[in-house]
Amino acid sequence: MLEELNVHNYALIDRISIKFSPGLNILSGETGAGKSILIGALGLLLGQKANTSIIRTGTEETLVSGLVNVTHNKSVLQWLKSHDIEPEDGTVILRRVVKQSGRGSIYIQSVPVTRSILQEMTSLVFDMHGQHEHQSLLQIENHRKVLDFFAGCGEEADNFKIQFIELKTLKDRYNKLIASERERLRQVELLKHAISEIGKAELKPKEDEELEQEHKLLANYERLFQLLEQIYGNVAESRGGALASLRTTRASMDELTEIDSSLNALKNQLEDSYYELEDFVAGIRHFKEQLNFDSGRLTLVEDRLKEIRLLKKKYGDTIEEVTKFYEDSTVELESIENWEEDKEILKRQISEQEKALVESAGVLSEKRKSAASVLEKKVEDELKHLGMPKVRFKVMVREKLNESKRPIIAQYGKDDIEYVISPNLGEPFKKLKSIVSGGELSRVMLAIKSALAESDDINSLIFDEVDAGIGGQVAIAVGERLKYLSEFKQILCITHLATIAVRANNHIKVEKIMEKGRTFTKVKTVKGQEKKEEIARMLAGDKKEDVSLKHAEELLLKYGSSDSKFAP
């Protein structure tokens, strides 16, 4: 429900903030005070189209924001979750800006959205009656949903949709299996070739790295041997190398330390160097002795590396990736080769699912037809009560047909469901949107909503022209129905009729004032004496006359909000 509406620089509105309550919220005021401007601002927040003419003269932009409580609305909570938008303490903030440049911005919480996305979200919370926009029941796709709620089979219909999607998934898998026999055979040959080629290679982890190192040694054997000979000659003792010089130096150092023992540390350092070099010479000699050039081995290494590189070029950048391709291909080949078995399993599953869906669709259809007749009677009774005794209402539950006019089953069953209306005796039934009068449409919607009071999950209903062209007992009946409906929904209603306004849980007065040569629309919540005076004004145009005030007091005592579960 709408908890708060803030409007800045919209038409005659400079800046206002309105708090709404549960139950029946009434907006009243003199003709031209700006009540419809408020509804326009609210419509902007609900996703209606906008143009720059709404921007208050002398300003650059219009801003409308609203605080919406979504705690008990499962549909909108699911929608928010699917769009990664998180309510805070059960509420979301809607904000819309329209700029003189024609550009604007829309946010749900802090998430920027398009106008269509805003409209999609708010249509789950609000119904606006009095114009043909933002009314959920004017959208035929909502008729099935509302009837299912009324019939108590909403969850059953949702489960049917899940089963329908599962059947479609099974059929897609089946069609994929049989789509192209030639393609299947071609894929089998490709997989078999890859598996055979990779399998014969018997690849080992890191084998390519080891072969690359070995190839480097074999390919550079001559230079390697030359360098080893040169190094060995420079350090070996037998060839007068560095080791021989160190041996002579050691003898001199022995004699030196006998003269000056303080040089013993240096002597030890020399000894360590000698033995280190001796180990180095031994290592070089061993490596040189082991070095062996095998031209045949070089050829084998090169051929193997060539084979591995070809496999990597075709199946992966590394041996690990090639091996993974081999494993995946083996699994896929088994799956394809078992396709006949899979096909038969799928055919059996599809047949069983189709049979179950046909049975479920029949059960759903019977429940809908039974509930439809009850709903028709309830709505027509409501319409009579609202001064429209000749209007006929019908819930059409017909077989869903394809383009060839053959019966089909869709995601919510076998039925096409539509609410239609006959405005006068003898006239054919027409679509709800064919009702031209905003007042009549509002009353029809009030009748339907009253009949469905506990069946749909729309939280807030907005009535702009529900009292158009009515008075007397019909006006009293409209007030009764609005009051009844407000026990289940939040109602926002603009009215000129005192017999409706007296029932308000929250009465908001809209007035136009002049300040510093400019016109402003202002709002205030009226209670007590101020509320009585506003009712008196609505009755007789004079809020101070004793007769009007007395009549207003009598109406408030008779029809006031004490009969509501909400506090006055």
In a domain, 557, yes or no: no
Higher pLDDT, 394 or 558: 394
d(CA 464, CA 132): 11
Q: Is 201 contained in some domain?
A: yes
* Domain with 29 in it: 1-125+461-516
Query: In 411-457, where does DSSP find H-type helix?
Result: 438-451
What 8-state DSSP symbol labels residue 155?
H
**190 and 333 in one domain?**
yes
Instruction: Give the pLDDT score at 513.
Output: 86
Read off the pLDDT band of 84 (50, 70, 90). very high
User: Residue 279 contacts by C-beta under 8 Å, 6 or more apart in sequence?
Assistant: none
For the four alpha carbons of 310, 314, 319 and 323, in that order, the dihedral sign comes to negative
**Of 33-42, 376-385, 557-566, where does mean pLDDT reach its minimum?**
557-566
Domain end position, chosen among 493, 516, 539: 516
For 440, how many CA atoms within 13 A lie in the half-sphere containing its CB? 14
- The whole-number average pLDDT for the span 20-30 is 91
The domain total for the chain is: 2
Q: Which residues of 517-531 are buried (b: 16+ CB within 10 A; e: fewer)?
A: eeebbbbebbeeeeb
List, for residues 517-563, the tens digit of each pLDDT value. Answer: 788 889 999 998 999 988 898 887 766 677 888 888 888 888 876 44
Task: Tell me the average pLDDT across 220-239.
Answer: 75
Q: How confident is the model at residue 452 (pLDDT cuts 50, 70, 90)?
A: confident
Spatial separation of the C-alpha atoms in residues 393 and 378, rounded to whole Å: 9
Structural domain contains residue 417: no
Is 90 exceeded by the pLDDT of residue 445? no
Q: What is the DSSP string of 537-548?
A: HHHHS-SS-HHH
| Same-domain status, 47 and 120 | yes
447, amino acid identity: A
The interaxial angle of helices 319-337 and 295-315, nearest 10 deg, is 50
- Local confidence band at 135 (pLDDT 50, 70, 90 cut-offs): low
On whether both 193 and 325 belong to a single domain, the answer is yes
> Please, which pLDDT band fits residue 564 given cuts at 50, 70 and 90?
very low
d(CA 487, CA 394): 26
Q: What is the predicted pLDDT for the residue at 92?
A: 95
Same domain, 192 and 278: yes
Domain end: 298, 317, 337, which one? 337
Q: Residue 295 — very low, low, confident or very high, per pLDDT cuts 50/70/90?
A: confident
Query: Are residues 99 and 227 both part of a single domain?
Result: no
SS (H, E, C) 187-242: HHHHHHHHHHHHHHHCCCCCHHHHHHHHHHHHHCHHHHHHHHHHHHHHHCHHHCCH
Taking residues 451-462, report their average pLDDT. Answer: 80
**20/145: higher pLDDT:** 20
Name the residue type at position 537: R
At 293 the pLDDT is 66
- CATH number for the domain including 53? 3.40.50.300
Of the listed ranges 217-226, 358-367, 406-415, the least confidently predicted one is 217-226
Residue 260 lies in a domain: yes
| Mean pLDDT for the chain overall | 85
What does the pLDDT read at residue 163? 93
Q: Minimal CA–CA distance to 143: which of 385, 375, 403?
A: 375
Query: Is beta strand 392-399 parallel, antiparallel or unpaired with respect to 490-494?
Result: unpaired
Residues 330 and 468 reside in one and the same domain: no
Residues in the chain: 568
d(CA 473, CA 517): 43
Domain final position from 486, 516, 546: 516
Lowest mean pLDDT among 129-138, 398-407, 461-470: 129-138
Phi first, then psi: what are they for 294, rounded to 5°? -130, 105
- pLDDT of 567: 34
Confirm if 465 and 39 have CB atoms less than 8 A apart. Answer: no
Q: What's the whole-number mean pLDDT along residues 156-179? A: 89
| 568, pLDDT greater than 60 | no
Phi, psi torsion values for 459, nearest 5 degrees = -85, -35
Is residue 501 included in any domain, yes or no? Answer: yes
Residue 213 lies in a domain: yes
Identify each DSSP E strand in 70-139 by its residue range.
91-99, 104-108, 111-112, 126-129
Question: Whole-angstrom Cα distance, residue 359 to residue 356?
Answer: 5
pLDDT per residue as tens digits for the range 99-129: 998 889 999 999 999 999 999 999 889 888 7
